[in-house]
Structure 1
């Protein structure tokens, strides 16, 4: 056997090490993510105390979920979370799509200036206190708009959407203009239909942000009847607001509430997965 063949074989064997290590790392990361969720799920189905590392229910029960269903005081926070998520996602997509579309108007004077100004606000944030003062001066305190509007204007998502729009062939815009299509007609008939992947991925990011929002509700909302599900969940997990039920432990009830909070997106994500995967590299490939 020649020396050249030996060198080639050694290189091939050495090359296979990276995929193996890479796969092991991803398996480890997956386990780090999955095990806590599985632990909480098992705790929500276990009538015994949830302390300890039990990866299966010792005493199976649905009492935790029954306690959540019977507690009508959780209904309104859940509805508020749903409403803010739907309205906030719609407003967010509306703003970032229109803003991204404006920033790809090549003939618009000062287009790059406005784009850089948006990037500046993303890098150099005003901070919590200025935001609080602005919300207060606008009279939005103790309203759901105090939570929806600030999160809807997301510069990062706007930049992603603009990058995706820039990946649309310019020839399509020129052909539409020749056919007499207006700018808004181009937006609704060409841009949006070609942007399903970006809309799905960015919409999912908006939805998760609104659904899991805790900080803004804590800052801008002081009325108990306007608290969302995450605020109630936090009070339950801290053992200060758990219903008394002798059949199950408080940890079982708080774990069941956590699963209820996670469940909507656990159901939705598989249907959006193909669009989300397509939109991960939004704007990465351009004409």
Structure 2
């Protein structure tokens, strides 16, 4: 079968599959969105709210017990994303130094840790001995070292023409000056895409808080969201909002920041990940 010059069978089938997957993923989100505006007590799937109102969002946003978890989520996300990007870019820059002794050994050692790790209990014991349990520093430091992101960044850096490094050296730039003045400005796509992955991981972090944080005053918004969904810490419903409305509104507030942010970073995200993935 000869392919049409503009439309290929694979592209059509691939497009249909991804459209179906997108619809399957969007239906639950849309249901929660509708429920967050629906003040009626009726359950089920609806295309629009039966009784529209903003009381669910008012109940969540006016609850002072949610302010601290929300600020903790914002603070740890910003700090963790910055730290993760710093470690990933610096580590990747070291690994592209072709004349560095032991470069291959360190690269393979890092890749080894992607397959084998210490496990949950040894990691907990290390965190405890370092005094990082019940400490927000622990939940910031632990996810900051992500070998997958480091490898993506390294592959992206390897795509930068070697002539630019040589030109910077001839101009008298030190390795760190080359990193700041040449490498980082050319890596905006990679920084945006990997930074977004770090930010999503920190914002949605639940497991590390569950394992290493027992002080409820240090819980992030995801931990608080679980308490809301379980009904043990449900905000007081105002203005006719039902329990289901309040829970749905809390879920939408949790996912809203990245629903707004992602469209602006999408072109960088696709470009950065693709460049890092096809090289190596």
Deviates more, 1:272-281 or 1:68-77: 272-281
Q: In structure 1, what is the equivalent of residue 260 of structure 2? A: 267
C-alpha distance in 2, partners of 1:285/1:218?
Answer: 36
Deviations 1:81-100 (A, max 9, x none): 00000000000000000000
Deviations 1:152-184 (A, max 9, x none): 000110111111111111111111111111000
Q: In structure 1, what is the equivalent of residue 50 of structure 2? A: 58
Gap regions ≥5 residues in structure 2: none
Aligned alpha-carbon RMSD (Å): 1.7
- Asked if 1:283 corresponds to 2:276, the answer is yes
2:40–2:50 CA contact under 8 A, matched in 1:
yes
Q: 1:55 to 1:101 in 2, by over 3 A?
A: same
Q: Which of residues 92, 95, 103 in structure 1 aligns to 2:95?
A: 103
Q: How do residues 237-252 of structure 1 correspond to structure 2 at under 5 angstroms?
A: 237-245=229-237, 247-252=240-245
Gap regions ≥5 residues in structure 1: 1-9
- Asked if 1:119 corresponds to 2:95, the answer is no
Displacement of 1:53 after TM fit? Answer: 1.5
Q: In structure 2, what is the equivalent of residue 42 of structure 1? A: 34
Deviates more, 1:21-30 or 1:180-189: 21-30
Q: In structure 2, what is the equivalent of residue 257 of structure 1? A: 250
Q: How do residues 117-266 of structure 1 correspond to structure 2 at under 5 angstroms?
A: 117-245=109-237, 247-266=240-259
1:77–1:228 CA contact under 8 A, matched in 2:
yes
Deviates more, 1:45-54 or 1:191-200: 45-54
Q: 1:18 to 1:177 in 2, by over 3 A?
A: closer
Displacement of 1:270 after TM fit? Answer: 1.5
TM-score (norm 2): 0.95
Displacement of 1:127 after TM fit? Answer: 1.1
C-alpha distance in 1, partners of 2:67/2:46?
Answer: 30
Q: 1:75 to 1:111 in 2, by over 3 A?
A: same
Shift >6 Å, 4+ stretches: none
Q: Which of residues 76, 79, 88 in structure 2 aligns to 1:84?
A: 76
Deviations 1:129-174 (A, max 9, x none): 1111110010111111110101000011011111111111111111
TM-score (norm 1): 0.92
Larger radius of gyration: 1
C-alpha distance in 1, partners of 2:156/2:12?
Answer: 34
C-alpha distance in 1, partners of 2:104/2:3?
Answer: 48
1:168–1:286 CA contact under 8 A, matched in 2:
no
Q: 1:50 to 1:75 in 2, by over 3 A?
A: farther
Count of residues paired in the alignment? 277
C-alpha distance in 2, partners of 1:173/1:54?
Answer: 58
C-alpha distance in 1, partners of 2:178/2:42?
Answer: 56
Displacement of 1:74 after TM fit? Answer: 0.2
Displacement of 1:48 after TM fit? Answer: 1.7
